[in-house]
Amino acid sequence: MIVRPLSLFLFLITLSCFNPTHETTKAVLVIHGGAGWISKESVSDSMEKKYTETLGEALIKGRAVIKQGGSSLDAVQLTIEHLEDSPLFNAGKGSVFTYNETNEMDSAIMDGASGSAGAASGITTIKNPIQVARAVLDHSVHVFLSGLGAEEFAIEQGLEEVDPSYFFTQKNYDRLKEVKVSTTMPTQEKLGTVGAVAIDKNGNLAAGTSTGGMTNKRYGRIGDVPVIGAGTYAENGVCGISATGHGEFFIRNVVAHDIAARIKYASHSIEKAAREVISELKEKGGAGGVIGLDSQGHVVMPFNTPGMFRGYISLDGSPVVAMYAED
């Protein structure tokens, strides 16, 4: 293994990168920052360091909630907020642009203990979209709110409102211009989304996901993230799953719930279920991956693209972060 001359923090994490050939690892929190055409050739050393450190910080923040006896829901929310606040990922601050040069974000969170869920789409002025999903779960009789109604509800709940310019990043705006010139939907790029799955000291699972969607999306397009059972799912005694990739395929194949169903009804391990579903998705033309934990805290992070920003942390261990298929 080649260790790049980065920080000591990155060096230690690189040494402990996830190897799927080993016995399935146990953790209390697993995260992703998007899958896609992520390779050592396309990510500079300086950017690799930034990605690694931000993912590691998110894991440490989320794990702190669990260590202090907090809920898996709170751990998932705090972890995702940290990733939403970074311009590195396609969620929150780093969200990509629509055809109309706006940023429209989707989010979801699910409680494995109660089966309750909250989801939101078309968010344009709330700083942390995952907070909208959590507010829907906690304070609404509904599951899924969209657009102006979702934002009105969020403001009533006291969530932080920002000017849409907060979400502007030059790299994402330039990417939109490139895609418009090509007149085709982007294919070989990072396929957006951040997500987290946690299990707390009471054995309760929770999963959450947040995204800026697809570059150049039109007509109010909504992906898999806020569709419970497609991009986000959690059920105590079974698993928690958060997905990232080409959302249309994850919706059609109800990917997150399909993994849970194979565990629940076919007695598959989470590793077998997740890897088979992602492999089958590739055969159907769907690119992406998932992260997950089962009720014993076993970690899975399969993907069918060249890379996926991902990581996990145990109750007392150091953050483990990886990016590339060979990690």
Catalytic residues, which ones?
Answer: 193
74 by DSSP, 3-state: which?
helix
The residue type of 266 is A
Separation of alpha carbons 104 and 26, rounded Å: 35
The contacts of residue 76 (CB under 8 Å, 6+ apart) are 62, 109, 196, 197, 198, 206, 207, 208
Give the residue among 313, 233, 315, 235 at the shortest CA–CA distance from 277: 233
Q: How far apart are CA 289 and CA 247, in angstroms?
A: 11
Task: Give yes or no for a contact between 195 and 187, defined as CB atoms under 8 angstroms apart.
Answer: no
Beta bridge partners of 302: none
Q: Is 207 helix (H, G, I), strand (E, B) or coil?
A: strand
N-term to C-term CA, the chain: 9
